[in-house]
Amino acid sequence: MTQTLTVLGVETSCDETAAAVVRLSSSGVEVLSSVVASQIDAHIPYGGVVPEIAARAHVEVVDTIIERALAEAGTGFADLSGIAATAGPGLVGGVMVGLSAAKAMAMARGLPLMAVNHLEGHAVSPRLEGAAPYPFLLLLVSGGHCQLLAVEEIGRYARLGSTIDDAAGEAFDKIAASLGLPYPGGPALERLAAGGDASRFPLPRALLGRRDCDFSFSGLKTAAARMAEGIENDADRRDLAASVQAAIARQLSERSERAMVLFAQTHAPAERLFVVAGGVAANGAVRAALQASATAHGFGFAAPPLKYCTDNAAMIALAGAERLAAGLVDGLDAAARPRWPLDEAAALANPVHKPGRKGAKA
């Protein structure tokens, strides 16, 4: 690219209030600042994120976080090329806070607005540091999402597989809770699994009769929770945690390998890059298993640095900068969306979650 773009990003889709300034130029990507305010302490008593508490917390600190991001970057509004904000998917009350703040700044300063899909932010997150050229095969795996996508360029995605029930990160968190581990459960379960025997507890393998790229973690979650009820000593808890971690890593690897075969049918060897992004990408055992799968199938491997695996605004700012460079600018009427698939055509043609009965009991 010939122009240099400096974009402020705002992220408020769940329980982190984040702002960042990213510069995109012909020499690459430079993260000028990345500020994240966590709400973990506010949600610990409830064992998970409470949407109303999260939205109120965003309102209280979003302006301060934006000011900090601009100050740490050494930039003012006059230095910005545009403003990006998460517009979904996520907890819609929180999404509205960040998106409204971005709209106000864009309108007041006459700057372009980019309403960014949170999943697109994760998709570009490995590009914040290191090379992850388009096109690539993406596994997006987090607390709320688990899907495989062919990423051709910014704004062009094809879904190859998705979870039909729970996300991998949700399974980690719920099983961790059944083992008596504190919130957030995923990192706590990984720490407990260290030194455990991953072959000790036999856990169910999902969708064995299907050869597609879809995931299912509901049965694993239920089976592990029942096993946890009969555990009384720390050694057994470690072994169950290790078994759960291995089972999740195995399913992610198996489905990713199927997607690699499909991706390789339409992409030259030089384009075969496997990218893993999202909070679960920070799990060491999962990352190692996926990297081994990529190597075995002749794919390069890329993942964001650990600080960009979980929710952050740097990835939103970069997605916004890439969209601005491509002329993909949004109006001030951009809506906050609780659900927003990257491949909307596939979601409409073949929805993963089909509606059930209508009526009072639905």
Tens of pLDDT, residue by residue over 266-282, are 999 999 999 999 989 99
Per-residue pLDDT, 191: 96
Confidence of residue 346 (pLDDT cuts 50, 70, 90): low
pLDDT digits (tens, 9 = 90+) for 281-339: 999 999 999 999 999 999 999 999 889 998 999 999 999 999 999 999 999 999 999 99
pLDDT digits (tens, 9 = 90+) for 44-83: 887 778 888 999 999 999 999 999 999 999 999 999 999 9
Confidence of residue 343 (pLDDT cuts 50, 70, 90): confident
71-92 as b/e, with b when 16 or more CB fall inside 10 Å? eebebeeeebbbbbbbbbbbbb
Per-residue pLDDT, 187: 92
> Does residue 43 surpass a pLDDT of 90?
no
Per-residue pLDDT, 352: 62
pLDDT digits (tens, 9 = 90+) for 217-239: 999 999 999 999 988 899 999 99
Q: Over the chain, what HEC string results? A: CCCCEEEEEEECCCCEEEEEEEEEECCEEEEEEEEEEECHHHHHHHCCCCHHHHHHHHHHHHHHHHHHHHHHHCCCHHHCCEEEEEEECCCHHHHHHHHHHHHHHHHHHCCCEEEEEHHHHHHHHHHHCCCCCCCEEEEEECCCCEEEEEEEECCEEEEEEEECCCCHHHHHHHHHHHCCCCCCHHHHHHHHHCCCCCCCCCCCCCCCCCCCCCECCHHHHHHHHHHHHCCCCHHHHHHHHHHHHHHHHHHHHHHHHHHHHHHHHHCCHHHCEEEEECHHHHCHHHHHHHHHHHHHCCCEEECCCHHHCCCCCHHHHHHHHHHHHCCCCECCCCCCCCCCCCCHHHHHHCCCCCCCCCCCCC
pLDDT digits (tens, 9 = 90+) for 130-139: 779 999 999 9
343 or 79, which is more confident? 79
Per-residue pLDDT, 142: 86
Q: Please report where in the chains the tokens 């996300």 appear, as a residue.
A: 167
> Does residue 157 surpass a pLDDT of 60?
yes
Confidence of residue 246 (pLDDT cuts 50, 70, 90): very high
> Does residue 345 surpass a pLDDT of 60?
yes
Per-residue pLDDT, 45: 82
Q: Which two tokens stand for residue 164?
A: 């039909």
313-338 as b/e, with b when 16 or more CB fall inside 10 Å? bbbbbbbbbbbbbeebbbeeebebbe
Q: Which two tokens stand for residue 216?
A: 């299912």
pTM, two decimal places: 0.90
Per-residue pLDDT, 39: 81
> Does residue 204 surpass a pLDDT of 80?
yes
Per-residue pLDDT, 360: 35
pLDDT digits (tens, 9 = 90+) for 93-115: 999 999 999 999 999 999 999 99
Give the chain's domains with CATH numbers: 5-128+310-340 (3.30.420.40), 136-303 (3.30.420.40)
> Does residue 354 surpass a pLDDT of 60?
no
> Does residue 356 surpass a pLDDT of 50?
no
> Does residue 30 surpass a pLDDT of 90?
yes
